[in-house]
A and B are shown apart, each in its own frame.
Chain A
Amino acid sequence: MESIGVLMACPMNTYLEQELEKRFFLFKFWDFPDKALFLDTHRNTIRAVVGNATAGADGELIDNLPKLEIVSSFSVGLDKIDLAKCREKGIRVTNTPDVLTEDVADLAIGLILAVLRRLCESDRYVRSGKWKKGDYKLTTKFTGKSVGIIGLGRIGMALAKRAEAFSCPISYCTRTKKPSLNYNYYPSVVELASHCQILVVACSLTEETRHIINREVIDALGPKGVLVNIGRGTHVDERELVSALVGGRLGGAGLDVFEHEPEVPEEFLCLENVVLAPHVGSGTMETRKSMGDLVLGNLEAHFLNKPLLTPVV
């Protein structure tokens, strides 16, 4: 398979990069500043694209790669891939579900705890060397708080299981009610937000879920509420979130993703009730290796005419 051209859309993982180089003829898109020239030169050699949550295969790239057969994404979300166009052209698409579920759910709990217990603020304070005895402030208990989950898929379920171990009542909002579950169902995000103290975005990003967290939802969550986003930045209307946090209309936020990442709104930087993570939901050595293996496995299966491991299209 050494002659098969594979295009890696952006840097994502050293292990995956090395393994792709061993198996295929790898092009690293970021090595070519002149994209047009690169595509012009190699359009007929590239048969696979490896993308992730930052860069995938949009309509334009797909149109520029006539020999493209498969897009294998190093992510579970597929919002950087033009799925309709892939379907239309018969291009296969795979992602990396399941292997990252636990890590993302773990980080969601980590963000909830860090926001409620002001852990990062405490760490910053101790590191400043200013700690004096008896100088403390009260923070909010997590155990028993009501948790609302938008999107009760794999990640949402893993999150619910963890939150239950903290005796949290769980409610959720999805397109359709899941009758087999005991959690409270709300048909709208506004209703969910007004019935929980901690709201976690764990759904996939689609046209319908873009800006699913808007001003109305934020106001329903209220000044004691905490928003956690481990989905995609565009799930949240970031301007509205900034305005609510600055104005004290929302209690706090834990964010792993941002609308214009890696750019983060400046207003966040001076707020103590916000915890900011650099999109590391699946960012553990163990999980990134499993994700890399899935990308490789899907590509090998495809080019050996075997069934794909985790096909989406």
Chain B
Amino acid sequence: MSGTQDLPAILIHRLPAFNLLFKSKLHNHFTLLYLPLDSPDSTHSFLSRHAASVRALVAVGPTPVNSQILDLLPALEIVVCSSAGIDHVDLSECRQRGLLVTSAGNAFSEDVADYSVALLIDVLRRVSAGNRFVRAGLWPQHGSYPLGSKLGGKRVGIVGLGSIGSEVAKRLVAFGCSIAYTSRKKKLAVSYPFFENVHDLAADCNVLIVCCALTDQTRHMINKDVMMALGKEGVIVNVGRGALIDENELVQSLLRGDIGGTGLDVYENEPHVPEELFKLDNVVLSRHVAVLTPESFEALQDVIIGNLLAFFSNKPLLSPIQLD
């Protein structure tokens, strides 16, 4: 390929399981270098040849970006992430080194919001459990199926009213739900009731949709007290990160009947899922796939390429993370 040398080099950092689904488009704009994954030796020899020229790193999926890798890249200026949550990136290291960091921005928001609604309807209306019931041939024997709970009229508390949370709210309003939220700060442009903390929000709501970023402040924010405040009919949907919920307490609360049900796309120790949940019909379990549609990846490519092009031409980044 002629002219490839003139394109800026970017280093792709990914775990073996997360091969790039979008390298074709990146090829048009950049020279792609792949961090070898087979052995530390090959990583070192690779970096000794290329590290000096690498100003941009693309971290794919949950690939850890820590001081270990950053130490190897002295010329690095920007870390471009392919996910919306960036808890796998050591942000204080990035700040100390003066690096720029970008996330997937809004690329996934619609799909994750759709998925939240899907999980919520599934839990309330027992869609997956009903599907199991029919497939097991139980319908002719049992005649009727246990009743679900109506979505309309429910008070839904959004934990983290960012881009995903706002899309969730917009959708659920059309189902006749009322919306309340908690966030780091009250959003002045929004008329939904704001709660200072998630406990007070839970006490006021029938449903919690957890879609905030995982940080030291938000780890295990959905704890036993919050679950008790939500109550026996309450439903928790988590499309953020597993560690936002104290998973052990969640399992115990479900087993005791202290909350009504839950829909989970994420878990504390993925791919491990507590086995106690497998037998419960008021639980819907998904495998961290809320963002995984071709449409999302198309949008993600545009965000990644847009951030990189902006970086190399000194223009404002599309989805920068504030490191303060």
Contact = CB atoms under 8 A, between A and B. Distances in A.
Contacts of B113: 143
A40 interface: no
Given A131-B271, A138-B293, A110 B174 contact: no
A166 B175 CA distance: 11
Contacts of A134: 15-18
A141 B293 contact: yes
B99 interface: no
B49 interface: no
B140 to A, nearest CB: 5
Contact of B119 (A119, A137, A141, A280): A119
A39 interface: no
Interface residues of B, number: 61
A131 to B, nearest CB: 4
A138 B135 contact: no
A284 B171 CA distance: 21
Interface stretch (A187-195, A236-244, A262-270, A303-311): A262-270
Contacts of A287: 150
A63 to B, nearest CB: 27
B27 interface: no
B130 A122 contact: no
A139 B293 contact: yes
Contacts of B130: 276-278, 280
A161 B125 contact: no
Interface stretch (A76-84, A85-93, A100-108): A100-108
A264 B176 CA distance: 33
Contacts of A9: none
A284 B149 contact: yes
A129 B275 contact: yes
A13 B245 CA distance: 37
A264 B134 contact: yes
A275 B122 CA distance: 11
A285 interface: yes
A117 B118 contact: yes
A127 interface: yes
A145 to B, nearest CB: 10
Interface of A: 11-12, 102-103, 106-107, 109-111, 113-114, 117, 119-120, 122-127, 129, 131-144, 161-162, 164-167, 261-264, 269, 275-280, 283-288
